[in-house]
Chains A and B, each alone.
Chain A
Amino acid sequence: SQQGEEDPQALSIQEGENATMNCSYKTSINNLQWYRQNSGRGLVHLILIRSNEREKHSGRLRVTLDTSKKSSSLLITASRAADTASYFCATEGAYNTDKLIFGTGTRLQVFP
Chain B
Amino acid sequence: DAGITQSPRHKVTETGTPVTLRCHQTENHRYMYWYRQDPGHGLRLIHYSYGVKDTDKGEVSDGYSVSRSKTEDFLLTLESATSSQTSVYFCAISESRSGEQYFGPGTRLTVT
Provide the residues of chain A in CB contact with B110, threshold 8 Å: none
- Which of B35, B42, B56, B98 neighbours the largest number of chain A CB atoms within 10 Å of its CB? B42
Please report which residues of chain B, range 95-111, place their CB below 8 angstroms from some CB of chain A when the two chains form the complex.
97-106
Contact-residue bracket for chain A: 20 to 34
Is B90 located at the chain interface by the 8 A CB criterion? yes
Q: Which residues of the other chain, B, contact A99 by a CB distance below 8 angstroms? A: 33, 45, 48, 58
CA distance A11 to B59 in the complex (A): 29
One of A2, A33, A42, A97 near B42 (C-beta < 8 A): A2
Contact partner, A98, options B40, B41, B48, B103, Cβ 8 Å = B48
Which residues of B pack against A, CB within 8 Å? 1, 4, 31, 33, 35, 40-45, 48, 50, 56, 58-59, 90, 92, 97-106
A–B Cβ pairs within 8 angstroms, 21 of them:
A2-B41, A2-B42, A30-B98, A33-B100, A42-B1, A42-B4, A42-B90, A42-B92, A42-B105, A43-B101, A45-B100, A45-B101, A45-B102, A48-B99, A88-B42, A98-B48, A98-B56, A99-B48, A100-B45, A102-B35, A104-B40
